[in-house]
Structure 1
Amino acid sequence: MQTPDDHPPSRQILTPSTLNRLVRDLLEDALPLVWIEGELSNVARPASGHLYFTLKDAGAQVRCAMFRPKSGWLKFRPADGMHVLVRARVGLYEPRGEFQLVAEHMEPAGEGALQREFEQLKARLDAEGLFDPARKRPLPRYARRIGVITSATGAAIRDVLSVMSRRWPLAEVDVLPVPVQGREAPPAIAGMLRKASASGRYDVLLLTRGGGSLEDLWAFNDEAVARAIHASAVPVVSAVGHEIDFSIADFVADLRAPTPSAAAELLVPDAHALRRHLQQLEQRLSTLERRRLQSRVQQLDHLLARLQAQRPQARLARDRERLLHLQRRLLGVQREQARWRRAELERLHARLLAQHPRQRLALLQQRLAELSQRLRRTVERRLERDRLALRHAGRALHAISPLATLERGYAILFDAEGKVVRSAKDVSDGASLRGRLADGELPLVVRSDEPHRP
């Protein structure tokens, strides 16, 4: 028989601390992080900054603690009766041997469920290619008709209309009213998107509403709305909520704007900026056109000078001056020969006077005959050369003379002032003209009546 002090060698004796530590280790190893949903009660936040509360449902409850700094990161203020979703480590509070949860994260249960649903739908639609940047269409630069799908009484439509009327009053903006919150909102929005797309009236559609909670914006996270945006025949701009709000509609749309006012600025140009740009372009165009005209005028002046230098009248004047010059040279030669002949006769006369009168007279007569013959041959040769040069110049002059052109059947028209008519635009009906022909002139009168055609 064994006494109470006798213990089998296999028996293990544990203290409460050892037992609680063992249980804590087992719980932490078996259950790391878990998500648990329930109602808050006994919420307490002492001066230490830690948060203590009880999480319960209809059949049980569990004590919880959230230590600093995680308790300071909460985006809401926990209160009794609030339904929350908690991510926590399962543990045991050793000093009292109490089962508890050490919370790492906490959020309102409804928002958390919606967020998970949002992430799941986003991942599925992304896998189908609805968010593919390659399918995004560019917005029209100058949209003539814009359809705004939103609440007709919300602040968003007032902001949109104000910005568009200020920036680009030429755009026609149609308000396509739909509910933007509640159960009836998603089918109404999807139906209006399909109707506006099928109408063919709009260049672009704007889907918008003001800010709100995740529940308020949930209509724009609906799958039917996302697929209606994807199927739209015209580009769709999404401007839902504030800058920090993102919806499924933002990812599917061709362009996401952070606010309704920003969407309006993206959809229409600034009329004042465009006017300044057009004025700058007009000034540049005017400067370029003025420089181009100056260049053309200089080119025309150069061509006119070349044309005037090559026209028959100018060549005729040059040849006439050359002919006069030749004539003056010929007269000079003739005068020089006459002077030489007189000097020679004077010398002969002096020699004649110095010799016997009869012999000198015979010699003088013979010498005079020889000189006369030489002079005659010299003058004839010179006259023949000048005659040939004059005939050649005359033929060249006649070749370019307007008279030669007239002999081939052409005519030159002169107006009443004697100016040459170069274009039909220079005369008017009833004007008197003179037609110069090869053998004379004809008086003419301009008549614009066309002959009768059968």
Structure 2
Amino acid sequence: MEDKYLSVTALTKYIKKKFDVDEHLQGIYIRGEISNYKHHSRGHMYLTIKDENASIRAVMFQHQNIKLQFRPENGMKVLINGSVSVFEASGQYQLYINDMQPDGIGALHLAFEQLKIKLTDEGIFEERNKKKLPKFPKKIAVLTSPTGAAIRDILTTLERRYPIVDVLIFPILVQGKYAKDSIVRAIQTVNNRTDIDLIIMGRGGGSIEELWPFNEELVARAIFDSNIPIISAVGHETDFSISDFTADRRAATPTAAAELAVPSIADLIQYQEQLNRMLTNYMHQLYKTKFNSWHNVKESYFFKFPHRYIEEKEQALDTIIDRFQTNLTKIRQHKKDQVAHIDKQLSYFKPTKIIDRKKESVLQLEREMTNYLKTILSNKKRDFSNKLESLELLNPTSTMLRGYSILYDKNKEMVTNITNVSVGDELQAHVSNGVIVSIIKEVKES
């Protein structure tokens, strides 16, 4: 009879085997909404897939979710490919996810928007973090494919606009799974040099998959950490990448990037010619102004009659000297008056006079204190004599000398009333010079 009972483990294994061999539960496609999403520290994803009427627990292991181009979130609608089986430890069936895509929007577009929001929240795209481009760069590093159309456009534009600039080409992979590492290494290599003034980074147009290396977070952070300004030129004018938002300047095309990087030599020559004309006009105007000034000086009274000019200055000097001597005499007299006034004040505050006045004050205080102490002592003596006389009147010994005594019973308590004693009690009568012990024979009430 015992053989008909199954263990829980055996039953669970049997049910799991039924699930695993059912071809309808393998390679199934499900549309649903994510909830209870958790990305475990070991890399596995645990979630619940639900619709309006039901839900199922699901798991996507790390070796499969590492290929996802987007980050799952609660509430996201997804398209899933996977299989259904039983998790023996809990006896619950669950969905094992092999692949997952956003429902209604491509995975790459979703990943792009998610990364854009993340880096925006960190402040990486803020204008205050952008570095200024050099006006006249001496050496430019170009990071692109050495065989694409982008490098030809950049070199042609640089040669036409600013042929004196040095250009270093750093070949990178611009698409494929290894491209992001190639871009990051190139940025770091350029930053290890001290002779590079500017970086141009980019490629020609393509699909979002082909442009994706420039949307990688690793590349964006390398651009942000660069100490050298970077111009990003990825794709065509309508294409925007995460690198465009992160770079110090964004160019619509590689050609536009080269135009941003350097000034036009023709414009510089024209500007120089304009400066030369301005300088020539300025020098002519300056010469004319100085010549007129010189002519005015030459025709001035000083040049025609220098000896009279000197005589006038001599006379003016005499006037100044006289005024100075008069003022000096007044100042001296004023200072003498001040010294006399101060000396008069100081005579009152001479230390010897101050000491004499203080000594007199001290002697006066000593006399007053002596009189005060004598008065207090006399009052205290009088008070003491009065209190002594009062004490003499209250002294029991004095009363005893007049024939009085004080009675105490056997308990050493004073007898003040006949009700406190009885016939036969022993009493002690204290008199002035001793104690009398007696026995009560009779008690009479007066």
TM-score range, shorter chain: 0.3 to 0.5
TM-score, scaled relative to structure 1: 0.46
TM-score (norm 2): 0.47
